[in-house]
Every structure is written in structure tokens, then in C-alpha cells.
Amino acid sequence: MQNQTNFFSLVFNFYILKKIVTLYILTHFVSCKTYELTPLSLKTQLENSSVEEKGVKLNNASIFFNSTYMAVGLDSLEVYDKKGKVFYLQNSPSIEMRLINNEGEKFTMYFDTVVIKNDTLTGSRSRFISGIKHKVPFNTISKVFVQDGQKDFKYTN
């Protein structure tokens, strides 16, 4: 009886281990790559860009429509990976940005909607409701992260 219990325990533990390894591999290869840049680098890149009207095709399982809004005119954003290596992230409507302020509060917005005006960074939190925005005093920003959210959003022009 003891050998049978040990066998079932071993099979059960192997089954759990197999699930954990599979989950780790899937999240490692499927997850979005996150990049970082300094607040000063973000400000410099935004100041050296224009804001232009862009058409965007928003594809979602529940809603299909096109939208037009004022967007950052950068072709790419200079960012850094985890190892500190420079990477140029192609600007697109699916680039998401997460800011962390000095108190640890997090603000998520779409990068191409971000502007700095009167030392306040403003960005849209939603593609579907344009009036929902974050306003963050620029001097309180301690960290900036960006990633391609892999959403099916495309510029039409």
C-alpha cells in the first residue's frame, strides 16, 4: 500500500511540475517585452516631435470602427531593454506607456496620445472613450515603461 501511495504522489507531483513548466514557457515567449526610458529622455523625444492628426483602425472582437485623433508624430522611440541595451521601438497605436510617480502610483496610457504642456504630462487611457485621460505633473514622474500591447490597432494614414 505504501508503494502505491508513493507512486500516485510521484505522478501527481510530476503532473503539477509539468503544468508549471508549461505555463512558464508560454508566458516567457508570449508576453510583451517591456522597455524603459528616463523621464528626461521621454521629455526630450516628445519636445522634438510634432503632434499630427492620425486615423486609426481599431479592431476588437466586440467593436470595429475607425477613429481620428491628434497623435505624437514620432516614427520610433528610443528605449532601453532590461540589460540597458538601446532599442528603437516603432511608434504605433498599440504602444502602451506606464508611468510611476514618486509616491509609487501607476498611470497607464497610450503613448501616441501623450503630450507635455505647462509641465504636465497628459495621455489617453482609452482608445474607445477619448475623454478619459491621466494628467501627471512631469516633475513627479520617477519611472517610464513602454511596451507594444500587441493590439490590432493600425494607422490608416
pLDDT above 80 (res 67): no
Task: Supply the pLDDT for residue 27.
Answer: 46
Task: Supply the pLDDT for residue 53.
Answer: 62
pLDDT above 70 (res 74): yes
Question: Is-above-0.75 flag for pTM?
Answer: no
Task: Supply the pLDDT for residue 41.
Answer: 94
Average pLDDT, the chain: 77
For residues 11-26, average pLDDT: 58
pLDDT above 70 (res 52): no
How is residue 111 annotated by DSSP?
G
Q: Percentage of the chain surpassing pLDDT 90?
A: 29
Task: Supply the pLDDT for residue 141.
Answer: 95
Q: Which residues contact 80 (CB under 8 A, 6 or more apart)?
A: 35, 36, 37, 86, 87
Helix then strand then coil, in percent of the chain rounded to 5, is 30, 45, 25
The three grid cell numbers given for residue 10, joined into one nine-digit string? 510521484
Q: Which residues contact 89 (CB under 8 A, 6 or more apart)?
A: 35, 76, 77, 79, 95, 146, 148
